Structure 1
Amino acid sequence: MPGTLRRHRPTLRAISPEGSPMTSDDTPGTAYLPCPEPELVVPHQRTRRTERVTGVLLRGIEPASRLLVPAEGRALHLLDADPDLPDGSTLTVDGYRDPTTATTGQQGEPFVVTAIIHVTPT
């Protein structure tokens, strides 16, 4: 009929161990095996290695974004850090890297702060 949409429905077929299609008459003991559910493990919780980092604190491009720039290595985007810490101060924090966290500013590697050890204002 013109103007009528026909929907395509996929057909599920069993395949024999030899690779040939099987009908319902051929499948007395055939079972469809479901795909196993993936193990839901957050990577940083599995390898959550705490580290102590010292660097200069800077404000990121987002209003609440705080970056810690160590003397060597990449900048760290501080998560759960005090937003009232002064810019330009030297800061020592404990925490862990969390590459699974998405940030809006996308600056630096996400770093969850577990403790602020020392702050030296500028």
Structure 2
Amino acid sequence: MEFLLAVVTGLLYAAGLYMMLRRSLVKLIIGLILIGNGANILIFLLGRITKGLPPIIPEESKVFIEAYADPVPQALILTAIVISFGLQSFAIVLIKRAFKVVRTDDLDQMNSIDPYS
């Protein structure tokens, strides 16, 4: 399972980077979303995948005896999801405004100095 998620993380990073290198602003945002999801899965993998074991120490124990689900990476992923949602919504509004002004989403045409070319 961890190997499969590692492969999916690599694919998300590769697809996100490929999309970010395109000339369209819409593809740039899609690439940003893919890289954000890849980072979330990477954080999830670093916390080790454990099925059905909560991070609770029994009263008679002083340390964890069995493997447990680490809550810190899960909390980090929740925070990263909220931050990436804010970043994506800001970028979408910014792209919408840029498209209204320039009438294109092509980065090469937006970067042109001559307005009549």
TM-score of Structure 1 vs Structure 2, range by shorter chain:
under 0.3
Q: Which TM-score applies when normalising by structure 1?
A: 0.22
Query: Which structure would you say has the larger Rg?
Result: 1
Q: Which has the higher helix share?
A: 2
Highest RCO, 1 vs 2 (Cα 8 Å, sep ≥ 6): 2
Q: Which TM-score applies when normalising by structure 2?
A: 0.22
